[in-house]
Amino acid sequence: MGLGDLFGITPAKVEKWVAERNVAKLTQALEKGDGAVRRAAVEGLAQIRGGEVLQFCKDNARSSNEQVRWAVTQILGLIGTPAAMEILGTVKDPDEELAKKAKNWKAQDKTVGK
């Protein structure tokens, strides 16, 4: 185990936060974690759903951080409710490819939410 595992955000920590339904910690993982951590956080937030997750997505749909916008589109695509799709339509992307990628990502990943 390296120092990053001791002090950083790990997939194991993300799993714990999902079990605790800790939306605040999971949203931090989207900004500070590596690829595996961000993926786990996206899936966890999509599983949790709820108003707090949708509000985070709404608040960050126009983020200047491309990784956060991509995470938001993934979360919303996985949730797939009419409210999520409405927020997805507000995601700021110069070439409008992020929303398309999220929909394709959801279609390819049929294991999430089962």
Domain spans of the chain?
Answer: 3-108
Asked whether the predicted pLDDT for residue 65 surpasses 80, the reply is yes
Kindly report the pTM of this predicted structure: 0.76
Q: What is the pLDDT of residue 90?
A: 80
CATH 1.25.10.10 fits 3-108, yes or no: yes
Kindly give, in sequence order, each residue whose CB lies less than 8 Å from that of residue 12, ignoring residues fewer than 6 positions away. Answer: none
Q: What is the pLDDT of residue 102?
A: 58
DSSP classification of residue 62:
T
Going from the C-alpha of 44 to that of each of 2, 77, 81, 112, the distances in angstroms are 24, 13, 16, 9
Nearest to 105 by CA among 81, 73, 83: 73
Going from the C-alpha of 7 to that of each of 3, 10, 58, the distances in angstroms are 6, 9, 30
Q: Which residue has the higher pLDDT, 11 or 99?
A: 11
